Chain A
Amino acid sequence: MRRRKLELMSIASAIIIWEITARIINKKIILPSFTEVGAAFLELVSEGELYRDTITSLNYFAIGMGLAIAVGIPLGIMMGWFKTFDKAVDPIIEIIRPIPPLAWITFAIMWFGLTKYAAGFVIFVGAVFPILVNTYTGFRNTPRVLVESGKVLGCIKNRDLIFRIALPAALPAIATGVRVGMGVGWMCVVAAELFAVSTYGLGWKIWHWNSLHHMDMVLTYMLVLGLIALVIDRLFRYIVQEWWLKWQTGVVV
């Protein structure tokens, strides 16, 4: 309760300082005030525009994340469990991985056109590697004694060992990977939308309002982007801890 109070006070003081600073500067294009941003926000909400932008961006995000999970986790499992596969695939991954996701934008558009799939692809590139690497590490770090316990209890086949022992043991690491991947993926949303794949979208609107010098709108969309990321992250953490990893001591993700 006291912590809550402190948090609220901290946010309130930041808003007050922001408001005062904005009024001293008195130039909307340099720093719109809190009240101006608040008014812009209410306007966007009442027109239903913010809702449509959010849905559009979340749609790209879901495409990208869905693909990243569908590719990253199985690939991480294969690389973590089968040494030969790891040795064969790892060099390729190590070459592709350092390429910044945004560098893929041009090819994304060439391949998928100006569609939601182009945006989804960029988000996928950003999110897939943290998921892959964490899944891989989780599998590699499966305690030997658990694998051997499984073996002496009759769990011999690779498929059984993977799904009954290594995968549950790696779940905390995989959850961390998905969480980090979501963070990177959300950053890629803004960049992916830059290229006018739609006339809606939180990232696209930043550029749209920027070109019209409506900085109160720009700041509103920035804050909404941050807020949504925060909500997604909190929600994911809650789900993981309450459902997935209830068996764990303490907090890992």
Chain B
Amino acid sequence: MLSIKNLNKTYHTEEGDEVVALSDINLDVADKELVCFIGPSGCGKTTLLRITAGLEKPDSGTLTVNNEPIKGPGPDRGMVFQEYSLFPWRTVLKNITFSLELKKIPKSEREKIARDFLEVVGLSKFADSYPHELSGGMKQRVAIARALVNDPDVLLMDEPFGAVDAQTRNRLQHELLNIWEKKKKTVLFITHSVDEAVFLADKVVVFTARPGRIKEVINIDLPRPRERTSFEANAVREHLLASLGAEIQAAID
């Protein structure tokens, strides 16, 4: 279980201004839950994800995974970045074996594990390709495999499908759900897209405009696979759009 209590984070700009990124965040995420973060740009949702990853430190408050406080990056949390983050000098297979090399797992074994994960994301044919030979969607699938190979409890995803076209995005969402159902990970997923959140999430966390607070948490109990245009989905979408709309207006004002 992932638990966030009274978490605060303030940035200090070079001009000496203070920017409150996160204010009094409290959130519990159950194991195997798929949670989407949604909110206006700059509301601190990426900061929260980065703190969870251990890449940044909060000013106050606690963040625990399985009751262990987070001190830095660790193998219990994997992350997929918004930008393309594959190592360009490594082939697809070698990108996936990266963390296994650090764990000193023998070559033949780690390549076998990596090939299994490549199959999960449907890219077995591209094992020996270099990242520049892949499309944007394929790169993100490899990044997902690379994060999963470490067998983390929590998968952190920062708008991973933000840079791919709409059709690919739909397909990637399906694939993510397949993987999630197979591997049963807790997933924190940042998105700008209400559609994406409604399609994927067990739980949607809506953030307010700066300073970032949690405005509301909406549970979505619809069965999967979800019909994107069903009556129930539309109702949730409408609620989310209204909730988010007010915040985006606030961010502009």
A243 CB-CB contact with B under 8 Å: no
Residues of A within 8 A of B77 (CB): 152
User: Complex formed: what's the CA distance from A154 to B88 in Å?
Assistant: 18
Q: Which of the residues A152, A168, A246 comes within 8 Å of B73, measured between beta carbons?
A: A152
Among the 9-residue stretches A7-15, A40-48, A92-100, A141-149, the one with 4 or more Cβ atoms under 8 Å from chain B is: A141-149
Given the interface pairs A247-B130, A248-B88, the reply to whether A156 lies near B72 with Cβ below 8 Å is yes
Q: Is the CB of A152 within 8 A of B55?
A: yes
Given the interface pairs A145-B83, A153-B146, A153-B150, the reply to whether A160 lies near B89 with Cβ below 8 Å is no
Residues of B within 8 A of A245 (CB): 89
A23 CB-CB contact with B under 8 Å: no
Q: Is the CB of B99 within 8 A of A149?
A: no
User: Complex formed: what's the CA distance from A20 to B78 in Å?
Assistant: 73
Within 8 A of B (CB), among A186-228: none
- Residue in chain B with minimal CB distance to A169: B89
Residues of A within 8 A of B180 (CB): none
Q: Which of the residues B75, B81, B103, B132 comes within 8 Å of A149, measured between beta carbons?
A: B81
Q: Is the CB of B87 within 8 A of A146?
A: yes
Within 8 A of A (CB), among B50-107: 53-55, 72-75, 77-79, 81, 83-85, 87-91, 98-99, 102-103
Given the interface pairs A146-B85, A171-B89, the reply to whether A153 lies near B98 with Cβ below 8 Å is yes
A132 CB-CB contact with B under 8 Å: no
A165 CB-CB contact with B under 8 Å: yes
Q: Most B CB atoms within 10 A — which of A160, A164, A171?
A: A164
User: Complex formed: what's the CA distance from A146 to B55 in Å?
Assistant: 13
For the A-B complex with A143-B83, A146-B85 known, give 17 more contacts whose Cβ atoms are closer than 8 Å: A145-B83, A145-B84, A149-B87, A151-B73, A152-B53, A152-B54, A152-B147, A153-B78, A154-B73, A156-B72, A160-B102, A164-B102, A169-B88, A245-B89, A247-B132, A248-B132, A249-B132
B residues contacting A by CB (< 8 A) are 53-55, 72-75, 77-79, 81, 83-85, 87-91, 98-99, 102-103, 130, 132, 146-147, 150
User: 10 tightest CB-CB pairs across the interface, nearest first?
Assistant: A153-B99, A149-B85, A249-B132, A168-B89, A152-B79, A151-B73, A247-B89, A145-B85, A152-B73, A247-B130
A residues contacting B by CB (< 8 A) are 143, 145-146, 148-156, 160, 164-165, 168-169, 171, 245-249
